[in-house]
Amino acid sequence: MSRSSEARSPLHMPPGTRVVVATGNPHKVDEIRAALAFTGWEFVAAGELGAWPEPDETGTTFIENARIKAEAAHALFGLPALADDSGLEVDALDGEPGVYSSRYAGPCATDEENNRRLLLALGDTPGARREARFRSVIVLLAADGTEVVAEGACEGRIGTEPRGGAGFGYDPLFRPDAVPGRTMAELSMDEKNAISHRGAALRALAALLGHAKEH
């Protein structure tokens, strides 16, 4: 089941706000634009505004890394900035890969390499002990630097082999509790957004900003 938590410093930004999304991942930008379709708001990927030297994610928690990215984009472009940090936590691995999810198999690891590393780490761990969750933390900085934080999670378990051709990251291995029998990579974008960790965090952020998604 997905869940979300309250932000720490609610704020309101007027229509016409342009927000830079501090990521080089186009999948994240697409999900953010779809979930935060507010009248008059424009979400622009950092790379669309100019050179975007992504900062080193030196934090030990998702919120620390999200804040590092949001603050870097805010300082570089002088615009409100939004950043997400997310990852997979596997109970049998004491929460790994966690904040190292995107580089679990090495600094330049591909999704396939990270998935193989995860399966190797779990070995023959039985299905009942393969519980895991995707977790997402979003930091939004207003033009004046005021911060809002929203969180979301999606519970599930890790399969024994990849399935499905959609999504990215660990989606082919993650079987969400909310959709029994399928991996995240076997869901449509709408199905995924309805249950995903990032979808939950984005809905929490929208509510905290006093907006409803436009249809």
Three-state secondary structure call for residue 81: strand
Beta bridge mates, 192:
none
Question: CA–CA separation, 197 vs 184, rounded Å?
Answer: 11
For residue 49, count CB atoms less than 10 angstroms from its CB and return exposed for 0-12, middle for 13-18, buried for 19 or more.
Answer: middle
Nearest to 19 by CA among 31, 29, 8, 10: 29
CA distance 37 to 69: 22
Crossing angle between the packed helical segments 26-35 and 197-208, to the nearest 10 degrees? 40
Among 85, 91, 94, 111, the active-site one is 85
Please, which residues bridge with residue 198 across strands?
none
Strands 131-141 and 18-21: unpaired
Annotated active-site residue 85? The verdict is yes
State which H helix or E strand residue 195 sits in: helix 189-195
Residues with active-site annotation:
85
